[in-house]
């Protein structure tokens, strides 16, 4: 933003004096930088609050005797009327011209309309911050967090309402996306202006249990009545080689073994609390939005749930299907834990089966599990997992083709409980991470 430097300099000087005076008046023996910062933040907030009030109060300009109503009728000037909004600087009261007297019964304040203000409500800027905190934290925690950042108090109910509002908006956006994929006109428009498509596009899907915060205070008081629901989440992304200089220690070790290290980029999340069939529609619509239908190849990296592979086979019959490497290995580790009490024995078994899996020799992994099945329940239970997913675990082939074989994208998405504000949100209800 281009400010008038001269005026900013004057304000800054004056503001420094005001802060200095306020700190002296407090009479603390020792003033540290934190005290100075806090005093400045509080001062800036008050300045913002007053400046916003001032700006809105002079925004009317020349007042007309009559203006046009939305209904086509006429509205007459009444008087300057006061209203309140909640802004990022806190509560702001201001007076502006108010018109009424149309046959339709509606009134109007042109200033509110011009700035997109809803009298008595939270501004768009504050709503965004409030919803962010409500998505990432339980409402009560969100409120405390906001107070630290914004230096004023917002009620838990406001956090709840704004978060739900944001979820509703995301839901509308998702519905629109789905509708557009069935709408001839928007499909044609898309056909004429194709967005650049990635060469290989990756997709990951997963489900997580999420705890819905009860909306009703009574329900909230009854601790036992926690509402857990199934969240289905997905992520679209591309793969890129991690440049040597950006590698972490773990990636460095990986690079030594495998030559290159890939990572996910351009991640786009989507999620819903809904049945698999409905989630499939969102999967397809979001796929089209990222150009999946024009990518040379679509590769899915998922954990084994059957409904996931069914959806993928339905919408993307030509896609490559890979069981997430980390899930496949993690299961072997858990089996080893259960089956061997002797550390050396356990280590030896695990190294051998991990190597087999790494080389895509899934048949040998299954044989090893069959041998263990008598003494390990988990080994027995896992036979189906490895045999059903045999072709999805040909890791040597996948690596040779240059594909990513594992990605934390969807795990981290579900664990954070808020994949990404611009691409998915709490939707029907507002949810928090299981603790």
| Of 105 and 244, CB closest to Zn ion | 105
Site string for Zn ion, 139-158 (x = CB under 5 A): --------------------
Q: How far apart are CA 279 and CA 315, in angstroms?
A: 12
- Report which of 319, 406, 310 is spatially closest to residue 357, judged by C-alpha positions: 406
Q: How far apart are CA 284 and CA 277, in angstroms?
A: 11
What is the size of the binding site for Zn ion (CB under 5 A)? 5
CB of 105 to Zn ion, least distance (A): 7
Binding-site member from 14, 55, 63, 71 for Zn ion (CB under 5 A) = 71
**Cα separations in angstroms, 168 against 273, 340, 426, 433:** 13, 51, 8, 19
| Of 73 and 125, CB closest to Zn ion | 73
Q: How far apart are the two ends of the chain, measured CA to CA in Å?
A: 42
| Of 106 and 128, CB closest to Zn ion | 106
Q: Does 69 bind Zn ion (CB under 5 A)?
A: yes
DSSP secondary structure letter of residue 108 = B
Q: Answer for the pair 200, 294: CB distance below 8 angstroms, yes or no.
A: no
CB of 430 to Zn ion, least distance (A): 36
CB of 435 to Zn ion, least distance (A): 52
CB of 115 to Zn ion, least distance (A): 21
Q: Does 76 bind Zn ion (CB under 5 A)?
A: no
Q: Does 68 bind Zn ion (CB under 5 A)?
A: no
| Of 78 and 246, CB closest to Zn ion | 78
CB of 59 to Zn ion, least distance (A): 22
CB of 104 to Zn ion, least distance (A): 3
Nearest 5°: the CA angle 429, 89, 99 is 85
Q: Does 63 bind Zn ion (CB under 5 A)?
A: no
Q: Map the footprint of Zn ion across residues 198-217, applying CB under 5 A.
A: none
| Of 104 and 401, CB closest to Zn ion | 104
Q: Answer for the pair 389, 353: CB distance below 8 angstroms, yes or no.
A: no
Contacts of 88 (CB under 8 A, 6+ apart): 48, 123, 125, 126, 129, 150
Q: How far apart are CA 171 and CA 211, in angstroms?
A: 19
CB of 78 to Zn ion, least distance (A): 14
Contact stretch for Zn ion (CB under 5 A) within 12-20, 67-75, 117-125, 229-237: 67-75
Binding-site member from 54, 73, 125, 408 for Zn ion (CB under 5 A) = 73
| Of 65 and 344, CB closest to Zn ion | 65
CB of 76 to Zn ion, least distance (A): 11
Site string for Zn ion, 375-414 (x = CB under 5 A): ----------------------------------------
Q: Does 104 bind Zn ion (CB under 5 A)?
A: yes
Nearest 5°: the CA angle 425, 296, 186 is 55
Q: Does 66 bind Zn ion (CB under 5 A)?
A: no
Please spell the DSSP secondary structure of 144-190, one letter per residue: HHHHHHHSS---HHHHHHHHHHHHHHHHHHHHHHHHHTT-HHHHHHH
Q: Answer for the pair 232, 271: CB distance below 8 angstroms, yes or no.
A: yes
Q: Does 99 bind Zn ion (CB under 5 A)?
A: no
Applying CB under 5 A, the residues found at the interface with Zn ion are 69, 71, 73, 102, 104
């Amino acid at each position: 933003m281009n400010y008038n430097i001269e005026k900013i300099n004057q304000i800054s000087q004056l503001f420094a004096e005001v802060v200095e005076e306020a700190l002296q008046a407090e009479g603390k023996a020792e003033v540290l930088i934190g005290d100075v910062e806090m005093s400045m933040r509080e001062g800036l907030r008050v300045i913002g609050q007053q400046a916003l009030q001032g700006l809105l109060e002079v925004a009317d300009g020349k007042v007309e005797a009559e203006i046009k109503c939305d209904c086509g009728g006429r509205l007459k000037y009444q008087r300057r009327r006061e209203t309140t909004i909640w802004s990022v600087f806190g509560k702001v009261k201001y007076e502006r011209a108010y018109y009424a007297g149309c046959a339709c019964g509606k009134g109007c304040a042109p200033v509110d309309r011009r700035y997109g203000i809803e009298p008595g409500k939270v501004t768009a800027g504050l709503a965004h911050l409030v919803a962010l905190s409500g998505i990432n934290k339980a409402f009560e925690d969100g409120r405390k967090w906001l107070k630290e950042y914004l230096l004023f108090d917002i009620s838990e109910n406001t956090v709840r309402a704004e978060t739900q509002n944001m979820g509703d908006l995301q839901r509308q956006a998702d519905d629109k996306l789905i509708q557009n994929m069935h709408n001839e006109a928007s499909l044609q428009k898309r056909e004429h202006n194709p967005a650049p498509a990635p060469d290989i596009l990756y997709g990951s899907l997963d489900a997580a249990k999420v705890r819905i915060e009860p909306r009703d205070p009574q329900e909230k008081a009854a601790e036992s009545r926690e509402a857990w629901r199934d969240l289905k989440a997905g992520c679209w992304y591309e793969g890129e080689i991690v440049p040597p200089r950006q590698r972490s220690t773990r990636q460095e070790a990986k690079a030594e073994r495998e030559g290159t290290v890939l990572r996910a980029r351009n991640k786009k999340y989507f999620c819903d609390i809904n049945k698999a069939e409905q989630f499939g529609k969102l999967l397809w619509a979001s796929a089209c939005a990222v150009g999946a239908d024009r990518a040379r190849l679509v590769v899915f990296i998922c954990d084994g749930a059957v409904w996931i592979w069914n959806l993928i086979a339905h919408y993307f019959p030509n896609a490559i299907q890979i069981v997430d490497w980390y899930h496949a290995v993690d299961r072997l580790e858990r089996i080893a834990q259960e089956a061997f009490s002797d550390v050396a024995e356990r280590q030896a078994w695990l190294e051998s089966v991990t190597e087999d899996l790494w080389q895509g020799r899934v048949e040998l992994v299954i044989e090893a599990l069959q041998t263990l099945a008598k003494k390990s329940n988990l080994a027995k239970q896992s036979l189906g997992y490895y045999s059903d997913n045999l072709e999805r675990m040909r890791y040597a082939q996948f690596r040779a083709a240059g594909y990513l074989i594992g990605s934390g994208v969807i795990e981290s998405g579900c664990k954070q409980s808020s994949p990404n504000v611009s691409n998915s949100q709490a939707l029907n209800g507002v949810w928090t991470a299981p603790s």
